[in-house]
Amino acid sequence: MTEGKPTFRPWITIVLALAAALAIEMTWDAALGARLPPPNLVSLIALGVATRIGPRRGALLVGITGLLAGQVNMRPDGIEALVGLAVGALAGMAGRRIVMDDFGARWFIIAALLGFEAVFYAAGERLLYRRELNIDVAGAALAALAWPLVAGRLARIDVADEDLKPLVTTAQKRRITPPEEEEER
């Protein structure tokens, strides 16, 4: 943000990164064959950003990303969007509740959320279409392994607002607030 004037540059960068990740996912089979499933790079980038923008905007970003990915992959049933809303909200809450400056903690949270997303998506397909439970473990694992390559670039995109600092608990406020101010309330 520049002096009270909103800028859309970080969001344009995120959209371009998501488009590039989608292009890589779409051309993966042609480039490498079907031996290795494509990593969930779109989810990786969306979840990485969602951990920094809070639960509401995180759910919105990952949900819209899931909706668009479902349309591009010719799966217009909405499962990816619903899963994206849930996992995006979890990512946003994790980003607010956990100290996310630690690279290892963020990597663990992203890997766990990618796994949750794969399980939720497979469960949704199972419920809607009565298909076998087919969890994309390899795509989630490859995306989690790609996190160190993407993390540095995502950290440079400044999307976090001032109000999205980690929450302070009531016990912490009591320790911070002098007793005289508490009596005035």
Average pLDDT value for residue range 86-111? 82
What does the pLDDT look like over 158-181, one tens digit per residue?
Answer: 775 544 444 444 445 555 555 565
Domain 9-184 classified CATH 1.10.1760? yes
Task: Give domain limits for the chain.
Answer: 9-184
Sign of the alpha-carbon torsion through 108, 111, 149, 159:
negative
What pLDDT does 62 receive?
A: 92
CA Rg value for the chain? 19
| Cα–Cα distance for residue pair 145/38, rounded to 1 Å | 12
What pLDDT does 11 receive?
A: 82
Residue 47: which of 38, 59, 33 has the closest Cα? Answer: 59
Cα dihedral 36→141→11→98 (10° resolution): 180
Better-predicted residue by pLDDT, 184 or 73: 73
pLDDT over 80 at 12, yes or no = yes
> For residue 122, what are its two tokens?
């497979």
What pLDDT does 38 receive?
A: 80
Q: Using 50, 70 and 90 to split pLDDT, how confident is the model at 3?
A: low
